[in-house]
Amino acid sequence: MNAAIETLLAHRSIRQFESTPISDEQRCTIIDCARAASTSSFIQCTSIIRVVDKEKRRLLAEYAGNQAYVMEAAEFFVFCADYHRHLQIKPDAKVGFAEQMLIGAVDAALMAQNALVAAESMGLGGVYIGGLRNNPDKVSDLLKLPEQVVPLFGLCLGYPAQDPEVKPRLPVDLMVHEDKYQPMDKTRLAEYDDVVREYYSTRTGGNRTMSWSEQISATLDKESRPFMRDFLHSKGFAVK
């Protein structure tokens, strides 16, 4: 085991931050690590909006579902899929394809993961904010995102003011398949449900005892942001 692996395995989402700022050197290094991530066909179709303005932070926290840590974190980045830059280079570029949306989402996720791992290696912590997609139109207007730029998620970064446990992930044999997709082992799933139930019970002092299967059933029992397709189309994405 080395320091990089230890950092990856120790990941926790941090939602409470100290008031200590992140230095300019740290921030620049984090962004450089994000920029070093793999990019499909060297298209580099991602932009990062660093949000410093306090009022914009307050509004973004509200748009994301009143997540206060968007305001409290030392840094807040918004990761966007961006083909607007490419249109400025080639105005008649063939854009709007669903595959390009996938490339933008994958590239942004790779960049953001690099950024978070780099931050965690410095003793910082963070949490991703998918809640920005609750109000993508308002986020887009606030950040003045042009056509062919879509806000995908945010990232809070700062010095942790909490020390949560590592959340238990699915067992390897339920997630990794060999040669072909394998049927799910219901016994292993039940064992994992017990682990997650105990995790939540410990974390909440017994106020929550939900299993992973119960959580997933509740999450997938309703529509999830059904307005996203129309929003993507309005920004010129996935129309072909």
Q: Are residues 176 and 70 in the same domain?
A: no
- Say if 126 falls within a structural domain: yes
User: Residue 155 belongs to a domain with what CATH number?
Assistant: 3.40.109.10
pLDDT of residue 72 exceeding 90: yes
* pLDDT(82) > 90: yes
Are 137 and 116 found together in one domain? yes
Instruction: With CA atoms as reference, report the closest residue to 30 among 122, 94, 102, 107.
Output: 122
CA of 73: how far to CAs of 23, 24, 64, 218, in Å? 13, 15, 14, 30
- Domain co-membership, 28 together with 101: yes
Residues 69 and 177 in one domain: no
Record the pTM: 0.95
User: Is 109 inside a domain boundary?
Assistant: yes
* Residue 61 confidence class, pLDDT cut points 50, 70, 90: very high
Q: Give the pLDDT confidence of 181-217 residue by residue, as tens digits.
A: 999 999 999 999 999 999 999 888 888 889 999 999 9
Whether 57 and 120 map to the same domain: the answer is yes
pLDDT score of 100 more than 90: yes
CA 140/CA 150 separation, integer angstroms: 7
* Percentage of the chain lying above the pLDDT 90 cut: 95
Q: How many domains does the chain have?
A: 2
The domain of 69 spans: 3-164+223-234
240 in any annotated domain: no
Q: Are residues 8 and 110 in the same domain?
A: yes
Residue pLDDT, tens place only, 5-24: 999 999 999 999 999 999 99
107/202 same-domain check = no
- With tokens 């400025």, the residue in question is 88
Interior CA angle at 20 toward 14 and 22, to 5°? Answer: 80
pLDDT of residue 205: 83
Per-residue pLDDT of 135-185, as tens digits, reads: 999 999 999 999 999 999 999 999 999 999 999 999 999 999 999 999 999
Q: Is 176 found in the same domain as 60?
A: no
Domain check: are 191 and 85 in the same one?
Answer: no
Is residue 132 domain-shared with residue 192, that is, in the same domain?
no
Judgement on whether residues 192 and 88 belong to the same structural domain of the protein: no
pLDDT at 223: 87
